[in-house]
């Protein structure tokens, strides 16, 4: 039997803008309408010695309120992992998911072209059955970056691994083919 986990990547105040504002409510609606055996949330927390600061000169996401999860999702966030990398599949998250016997991961969140993309690659590389819910991801830079990332994901982890949330119910009813 497949154990599913919803991985909510970096849906934080500092990543909400006009291109991403729809994502928290859409994810909340998914959580309220679908069953997941586990839910894991990540928060990106930058620091002055990170590659983001040192190499990119990017000095955001250091403190509250930017680093806080959006209010819409806080009540669902029982398992929250902080990270200072693109990937949400850190050692601690991967260990937690393995301890919970999760073998199927559904990824939603921000930024499709950065953290979601890297998390999907790492989830795939670690052997999890990986599905990115494309309509529940977004990029602060807009649809062009979001769509480019989805195109890369379809090519590299398989077009059947990039789905829309409406397809989730039928997937959850099918037996695992592992």
pLDDT tens string 51-74: 999 999 999 999 999 999 999 999
* 105 φ, ψ (degrees, to nearest 5): -120, 130
What CATH superfamily classification does 4-173 receive? Isochorismatase-like (3.40.50.850)
pLDDT tens string 134-154: 999 999 999 999 999 999 999
pLDDT tens string 79-122: 999 999 999 999 999 999 999 999 999 999 999 999 999 999 99
Q: Please give the model's pTM, rounded to 2 decimal places.
A: 0.95
Residues 6+ apart with CB under 8 A from 32: none
pLDDT level of residue 177 (50, 70, 90 thresholds): very low
């Amino acid at each position: 039997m497949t154990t599913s986990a919803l991985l909510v990547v970096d849906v934080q105040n500092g990543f909400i803008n006009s291109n991403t504002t729809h994502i928290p409510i859409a994810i909340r609606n998914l959580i309220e309408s679908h069953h997941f055996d586990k839910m894991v949330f990540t928060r990106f927390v930058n620091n002055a010695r990170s590659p983001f600061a040192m190499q990119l000169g990017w000095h955001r996401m250091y403190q509250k309120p930017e680093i806080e999860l959006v209010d819409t999702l806080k009540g669902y966030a029982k398992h929250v992992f902080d990270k200072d990398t693109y990937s949400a599949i850190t050692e601690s998250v991967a260990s937690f998911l393995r301890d919970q016997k999760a073998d199927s991961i559904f990824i939603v969140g921000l930024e499709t072209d950065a953290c979601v993309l890297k998390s999907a690659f790492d989830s795939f590389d670690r052997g999890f059955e990986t599905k990115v819910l494309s309509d529940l991801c977004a990029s602060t830079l807009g649809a062009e970056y979001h769509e480019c990332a989805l195109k890369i994901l379809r090519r590299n982890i398989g077009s059947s691994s990039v789905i829309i949330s409406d397809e989730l119910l039928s997937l959850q009813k099918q037996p695992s083919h592992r």
